[in-house]
Amino acid sequence: MIERLAVIGVGLIGGSFARALRTAGAVGEVVGCGRSVANLERALDLGVVDRFTTDPAEAVVGADLVFLAVPLGSIRGILQAVRGALDGRTILTDGGSVKGSVVADVRAVFGRVPPTFVPGHPIAGTEHSGVEASFPELYRHRRVILTPLAETEPRALALVQRAWEACGAEVSLMEVDHHDEILAATSHLPHLLAFGLVDTLARMRENDEIFRYAAGGFRDFTRIASSSPVMWRDICLANGEAVGAMLQRFAAELNELADTIQDGDGERLLEIFSRAKAARDRFLAAGG
């Protein structure tokens, strides 16, 4: 059991982590920390945390595990705030969508990678935010990627892995750079496409009529454009090289698709659509 868990950022991700562990009976005391007192008070009312503070250094004192669930752009500042309050046994992990930038922040603040640091990324979420959006089943049957480094202690890795498994997640281990390349394709690019499409349509003169007649397909495809703009700004900046490469590749594919349509090449269109459908069907059949 985790006797004391400190969650920095008690929103959808951090709140759901605390709730899942509490539901599993895998945590004792939960200390919440964040900037919004109103959100923290609501977390207390909902039973997500047992007490809270707005001071990160105070939150981590005596914690067995510290979970950083804040936007990527805030992580370095949090690390600087808690550095002097962490003792040698406290295990530190995070839920950031880009691992290279988090590892760089850790090295910059601590001068090295502490052996108790375990980078992580839960592949789960919704378009909603705040502690009221959190729920204990968020991670059930979802993947969590851990990217331990050469310096990471086996004890630290084992505790973080057990914590995620207690949440119902399937844990995988991956290299930092490989993680960022994979997520640029499977997560970051789809979000950028959703944001870009909605922004393009919103800036058209006929946008009122366009949105009035948008149907279920538009709603389903663009659902993730309701995600936090701050979070996704930070993700794009933190994983700029991999995201930029994926955008350029997709742009080339779009240009080829546009040429195919303009050329009236129905056979080529059918080939593209059939290949895409078969790929998605395989993904769903595999439990995606």
Task: Write the pLDDT tens digit of every residue in 79-109.
Answer: 999 999 998 899 999 999 999 999 999 999 9
DSSP letter for 136, please: T
Taking residue 203's Cβ as centre, other Cβ atoms within 10 Å add up to 8
Taking residue 271's Cβ as centre, other Cβ atoms within 10 Å add up to 12
Q: How confident is the model at residue 205 (pLDDT cuts 50, 70, 90)?
A: confident
The token pair at 154 is 């086996």
- pTM comes to 0.87
**Average pLDDT of every residue of the chain:** 95
Tokens 């709730």 -> residue = 19
pLDDT tens track for 12-58: 999 999 999 999 999 999 999 999 999 999 999 999 999 999 999 99
Mean pLDDT for the stretch of residues 262-282: 95
Residues in CB range of 125: below 8 A, 6 or more apart: 12, 13, 138, 227
Mean pLDDT for the stretch of residues 156-167: 98
Q: How confident is the model at residue 228 (pLDDT cuts 50, 70, 90)?
A: confident
Q: What is the pLDDT of residue 288?
A: 67
Is the Cβ–Cβ distance between 163 and 2 less than 8 Å?
yes
The token pair at 275 is 């290949």
The token pair at 201 is 């349509």
Residues in CB range of 240: below 8 A, 6 or more apart: none
Bridge partners, residue 122, by sequence: 144
SS3 content of the chain, % helix, strand, coil (to 5): 55, 15, 30
